[in-house]
Amino acid sequence: MVKTFRLLLFKFLQSFSDVLPIILVITFFQLVVIQKPFPHLKETFFGFILVVIGLFIFIQGLEQALFPIGERLAVEFAAKGNVFWIVLFGFTLGFATTIAEPALTVISQKAGHIAASAGAIDQSESSVATYVWGLRLITAFSVGLAGAIGVIRIIKGWPLVIFILAGYSLIVTATLFAPKEIIGIAYDAGGITTSTITVPLITALGIGLASSIRGRNPIIDGFGLIALASLMPILFVMLYGIFVFGVG
- pLDDT tens digits in sequence order for the chain, 248 residues long: 667 777 777 777 887 887 788 888 888 888 888 777 777 778 888 888 888 888 788 777 777 777 777 777 777 777 777 788 888 888 998 898 888 777 788 888 888 888 777 776 777 777 778 888 888 899 999 999 999 999 999 888 889 999 999 999 999 999 999 888 888 888 988 887 776 677 777 888 888 888 888 778 888 888 888 888 889 999 999 998 888 877 76
Do you know the residue count of the chain? 248
pLDDT for res 1: 67
For residue 72, being part of any structural domain is answered with no
- Which of 9, 31, 65 is the last residue before a domain boundary? 65
Pair (113, 47) in one structural domain: no
For residue 76, being part of any structural domain is answered with no
Pair (233, 176) in one structural domain: yes
Pair (48, 115) in one structural domain: no
pTM, two decimals, is 0.78
Pair (31, 111) in one structural domain: no
160 CA to centre of own chain: 19
For residue 71, being part of any structural domain is answered with no
Pair (93, 15) in one structural domain: no
Pair (96, 212) in one structural domain: yes
For residue 181, being part of any structural domain is answered with yes
> Could you tell me if 189 and 139 are in contact, meaning their C-beta atoms sit under 8 angstroms apart?
yes
Pair (143, 169) in one structural domain: yes
- Which of 37, 65, 93 is the last residue before a domain boundary? 65
* Residue 10 neighbours by CB under 8 Å, 6+ apart: none
Pair (31, 117) in one structural domain: no
Pair (169, 60) in one structural domain: no
pLDDT for res 123: 74
> Could you tell me if 223 and 203 are in contact, meaning their C-beta atoms sit under 8 angstroms apart?
yes
- Residue 215 DSSP class: T
* Domain around 60: 1-65
- What gap in Å lies between CA 156 and CA 217, rounded to an integer? 12
Pair (60, 139) in one structural domain: no
Pair (156, 89) in one structural domain: yes
* Residue 206 neighbours by CB under 8 Å, 6+ apart: 74, 150, 154, 221, 222, 223, 224, 225
Pair (105, 154) in one structural domain: yes
For residue 187, being part of any structural domain is answered with yes
For residue 216, being part of any structural domain is answered with yes
- Chain segment 200-239, per-residue pLDDT in tens: 778 888 888 888 887 788 888 888 888 888 899 999 999 9
pLDDT for res 172: 94
For residue 73, being part of any structural domain is answered with no
For residue 75, being part of any structural domain is answered with no
Domain count within the chain: 2
